[in-house]
């Protein structure tokens, strides 16, 4: 009976090939309940750390305590997402057990802190100090700011008393927006659904197309006086951990591969993307309750550059951006429900500050004016959303 299927992935998300046995699903549910029990304590800790780093302009996405919401949105991985992740790991390695997969899991409890690019590195360093002062032990710090598909710092820490692990991501407001905009494409590229549909060899170009579209958002995110510029890369981010790229740019996808990925993820045409962008940091609470498909429909997108999985463990890959085809593109129009989220504020009217001189030609164009944050105090209790 324990070998019977206890869970199957969503057909709507193209994950019906993912399954767990009844016994495996019971282990997954037990691990999730342990993380759920730790959530209140971790939420309170992260709010306090955010307050302590407010001089660096810290933001804690999903914090709605001032609205009477006691839980930080997204601070607990959903049970459905955990099931899918475990099922994917079991498919990749037939020798590994469910208990071993769960033992390596670092993101059941997870949080994101945002700092503007100019204060990012110092803000992350101060957060690390806060965690160590509370007895947390570092498991990993992963710096992918040079990665073409995902830019940020991912860290994992272990709680000294419970043994529970916590993932903490660090982004700038712009990199967080792009990450959230890219979520549907990210899920498509990693879920295995494309391999299931097109086969191992043929799926490679479709996965590459999904990665290309993700990369293009990073490269053309900011509108500065009519020019589409890359997001701003934080100064001295390499002080936090040695940078590496998990993906590399190859350009093997053709226009019809890109068109399929645009349609699957609801990526609109370039002109729609530029005119109707929205910002997830403006209203994270609303969007965190949406499905992947709903998020994809309301997010913008633009034409693509080229990427591919590197396979080089911890080794930097090429980050050269290649021009995409300018032929006619297909995709879904932005959902009118996008009006639920406020339009992105104009961050683009900036002057070059020279902050990115060491980051290469693309980063040297990054010149967004630092955003002004409201003053906060360090008192516990309700506070304004950042």
Query: What structural domains and CATH numbers belong to the chain?
Result: 5-173 (3.30.460.10), 179-365 (no CATH)
Highest mean pLDDT among 117-126, 179-188, 256-265, 358-367: 117-126
- As a whole number, mean pLDDT of residues 218-231 equals 95
Q: Residue 262: pLDDT above 70?
A: yes
> What is the pLDDT averaged over residues 26-37?
97
E-strand spans in 310-358? none
Q: What is the rounded average pLDDT of the residues 316-325?
A: 36
Asked if residue 319 has pLDDT above 90, the reply is: no
Answer yes or no: is pLDDT of 321 > 80: no
> Can you tell me the mean pLDDT for 168-191?
94
Runs of H (alpha helix) within the chain: 22-52, 79-92, 98-104, 120-133, 173-181, 183-190, 193-198, 203-219, 255-265, 270-275, 284-288, 292-298
Distance of alpha carbon 126 from alpha carbon 136, whole angstroms: 14
Mean pLDDT of 290-306: 38
More confident residue, 304 or 2: 2
pLDDT exceeding 70 applies to what percent of the chain? 69
What's the whole-model pTM score? 0.69
Close Cβ partners of 146 (under 8 Å, ≥ 6 residues apart): 243, 244, 245, 316, 319
């Amino acid at each position: 009976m324990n070998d019977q299927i206890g869970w199957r992935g969503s057909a709507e998300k193209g994950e019906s090939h993912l399954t767990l046995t009844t016994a495996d699903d019971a282990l997954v549910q037990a691990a999730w309940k342990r993380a759920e029990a730790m959530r209140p304590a971790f939420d309170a800790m992260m709010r306090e750390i955010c307050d302590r780093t407010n001089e660096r302009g810290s933001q804690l996405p999903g914090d709605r305590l001032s609205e009477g919401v006691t839980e930080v949105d997204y601070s607990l991985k959903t049970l459905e997402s955990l099931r899918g992740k475990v099922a994917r790991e079991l498919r990749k390695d037939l020798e590994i057990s469910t208990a071993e997969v769960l033992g390596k899991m670092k993101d059941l409890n997870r949080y994101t802190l945002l700092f503007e690019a100019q204060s990012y590195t110092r803000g992350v360093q101060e957060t690390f100090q806060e965690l160590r002062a509370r007895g947390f032990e570092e498991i990993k710090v992963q710096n992918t700011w040079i990665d073409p598909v995902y830019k940020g710092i991912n860290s994992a820490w272990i709680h000294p008393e419970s043994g529970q692990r916590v993932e903490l991501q660090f982004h700038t407001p712009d990199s967080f927006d792009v990450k959230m905009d890219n979520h549907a494409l990210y899920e498509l590229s990693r879920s295995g659904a494309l391999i299931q549909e097109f086969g191992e060899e043929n799926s490679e170009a479709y996965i590459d197309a999904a990665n290309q579209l993700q990369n293009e958002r990073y490269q053309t995110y900011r509108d500065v006086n009519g020019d589409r510029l890359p997001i701003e890369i934080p100064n001295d981010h390499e002080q936090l951990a040695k940078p590496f790229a998990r993906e590399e740019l190859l350009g093997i996808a053709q226009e019809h591969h890109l068109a399929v990925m645009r349609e699957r993820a609801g990526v609109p045409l370039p002109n729609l993307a530029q005119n109707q962008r929205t910002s997830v940091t403006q209203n994270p609470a609303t969007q965190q309750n949406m499905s992947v498909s709903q998020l994809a429909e309301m997010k913008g997108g633009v034409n693509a550059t080229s990427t591919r999985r590197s396979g080089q463990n911890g080794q930097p890959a090429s980050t050269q951006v290649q021009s995409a085809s300018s032929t006619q593109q297909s995709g879904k129009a932005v959902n009118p429900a996008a009006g639920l989220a406020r339009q992105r504020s104009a961050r683009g009217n900036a002057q070059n500050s020279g902050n990115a001189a060491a980051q290469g030609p693309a980063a040297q164009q990054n010149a967004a004016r630092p955003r002004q944050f409201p003053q906060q105090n360090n008192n516990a209790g309700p506070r304004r959303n950042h």
